Amino acid sequence: MKRSIIAGIGKYIPEHVETNDDLSQIMDTSDAWIQERTGIKERHFADKHKDTPASMGAKAAEIAIERAGISKEDVDFIIFATLSPDYYFPGSGVLMQRELGIAHTEIGALDVRTQCTGFIYGLTVADQFIRTGMYKNILLVGAEKHSMGLDFTTRGRNVSVIFGDGAGAVVLQPVEDENRGILASALHSDGTHAEILAMVNPGSHGGYHHEKLGLEVDFGFSESRYDPIFVTRKMLDAAQLFPYMDGPTVFKIAVQKFPAAILEVLEKAGKKPAELDLLVPHQANLRISQFVAKRLGLKEDQVYNNIQRYGNTTAASIPIALCEAWEEGRVKEGDLVCLAAFGSGFTWGANLMRW
Ligand code: COA
């Protein structure tokens, strides 16, 4: 029976380091507050003009492709996860294909829009294609450029201090070994709380969901059929073009769903938390990771965290952390590795694999 293994992994971190002290210069926050609540010390911000999710993804992909021992032309499918795409459309997947110089191969490129869980969804989709024999070298990328649109005033401080930019990539290949590769996956979503962690504008909603939910928000739409609803003057003036997050509610639900998804994949594979060599959780908040580890009875060396240096890089956070763990020798052949995420949507899920 075919299983999917990660044959190559790479990451790209933009050069500029933005420290908590840097942010404290432009808004009312402090290094102490940010570290105490989130564990974050610094994050990297992309170059405004040169780094895009597609270009950063391509840089991470080139490393993953080289480490997989294949050429770019061998890639037979692309999956690209991001919540901060280069364009509203087309998706960043085709832009990265062009950036890699493989547009002429005309391979399929699928964009995944499940935010922090993007890599888990992408990996699970890729796993199905590999198992059925449809593709043999799938390039899966998670990349984010959050710094392009955060509210860097005190008004937006609960969101803007958390996020960072970067990209991670893996190449997935088949192996004929039931005991290796992805052993179990779990994907979940619950749209009830979609607006609790969201960037609703620009969009085509026209106020529909807010009205249905009884939320009184004036987006400044005019009644003219011909006036745009995508972006309005009111959205710009009233800071309605930024992400919104009800942090405490997200925290409360995250600490329930993370352990549930991890236990689900362990149970599917007949394993126990103690058997895990490494858990690589989506880097949402160090306190969430610590809570999850405690809940599952995991020791400190069973969990990989690097949010301290990168912040929350959403779809890129798991492949960046996994890549770094692999580079440090924390992930070796034969290790039982669990990836898990929770985020906007809400969406959550996990993958269990034997490296
Ligand atoms: N610096 C200083 N003070 C800040 C701040 C900042 N960056 N952000 C918020 N505050 C203030 C608030 O204004 C509030 O002040 P008040 O009590 O005077 O009203 C106070 O700190 C507490 O705010 P609250 O939002 O309740 O803080 P919290 O303890 O819940 O921590 C988060 C905020 C965002 C760190 C926390 O809720 C969190 O991590 N949630 C999960 C977020 C997450 O994981 N998101 C990604 C999911 S993928």
pLDDT tens column, 286-314: 999 999 999 999 999 999 999 999 999 99
Dist. CA 250 → ligand 1 center (Å): 11
The residue with tokens 């052993």 is 183
Which pair of tokens denotes residue 185?
């996956």
Task: Kindly state the average pLDDT of the residues 180-195.
Answer: 97
Would you state the torsion angle of the CA atoms of residues 29, 315, 9, 306, taken in this order, to the nearest 10 degrees?
30
Dist. CA 158 → ligand 1 center (Å): 5
Are 53 and 147 contacting, i.e. CB atoms less than 8 angstroms apart?
no
pLDDT digits (tens, 9 = 90+) for 37-61: 999 999 999 999 999 999 999 999 9
- CA 157-247-305 angle, to 5 degrees, is 90
- Mutation to probe ligand 1, out of 37, 120, 152, 344 (largest number of atoms < 8 A from CB): 37
Whether 312 is in the pocket of ligand 1, judged by its Cβ within 6 Å, is yes
The one catalytic residue in 20, 201, 285, 312 is 312
Q: Residue 115: what pLDDT?
A: 97
Q: Residue 1: what pLDDT?
A: 79
The one catalytic residue in 20, 44, 116, 323 is 116
Dist. CA 193 → ligand 1 center (Å): 18
Task: Determine which residue's CA is closest to atom 2 belonging to ligand 1.
Answer: 29
Q: How many helices (H) and strands (E) would you count in the chain?
A: 12, 13
Q: Residue 246: what pLDDT?
A: 96
SS3 178: coil
- As its CATH architecture, domain 3-175 has 3-Layer(aba) Sandwich (3.40)
pLDDT digits (tens, 9 = 90+) for 208-266: 999 999 999 999 999 999 998 999 999 999 999 999 999 999 999 999 999 999 999 99
Distance from C-alpha of 255 to C-alpha of 252, rounded to nearest angstrom:
6
Largest CA distance in the chain: 62
Distance from C-alpha of 342 to C-alpha of 186, rounded to nearest angstrom:
12
* C-alpha Rg value of the chain to the nearest Å: 20
Q: Residue 213: what pLDDT?
A: 95
Q: Residue 249: what pLDDT?
A: 96
Closest CA to 80 of 116, 130, 52, 118: 118
Ligand 1 atom closest to the CA of 161, numbered from 1: 7
For the chain, what percentages of helix, strand and coil (3-state, to nearest 5) are there?
Answer: 40, 25, 35
Dist. CA 229 → ligand 1 center (Å): 31
Task: Determine which residue's CA is closest to atom 5 belonging to ligand 1.
Answer: 158
Whether 116 is in the pocket of ligand 1, judged by its Cβ within 6 Å, is yes
| 323 assigned to active site | no
Ligand 1 atom closest to the CA of 37, numbered from 1: 35
| 306 assigned to active site | no
| 282 assigned to active site | yes
The residue extents of the domains of the chain are: 3-175, 181-193+245-354, 203-241
The β-bridge relationship of strands 77-81 and 42-45 is unpaired
pLDDT digits (tens, 9 = 90+) for 143-165: 999 999 999 999 999 999 999 99
- Indicate if 181-193+245-354 has the same CATH topology as 3-175: yes
Whether domain 181-193+245-354 has CATH 3.40.50.170: the reply is no
* Whole-prediction pTM: 0.97
Ligand 1 atom closest to the CA of 160, numbered from 1: 7
Task: Determine which residue's CA is closest to atom 48 belonging to ligand 1.
Answer: 343
332 Cβ contact list (under 8 Å, min separation 6): 277, 355
Ligand 1 atom closest to the CA of 157, numbered from 1: 7
6 Cβ contact list (under 8 Å, min separation 6): 170, 171, 172, 322, 353, 355
Dist. CA 322 → ligand 1 center (Å): 27
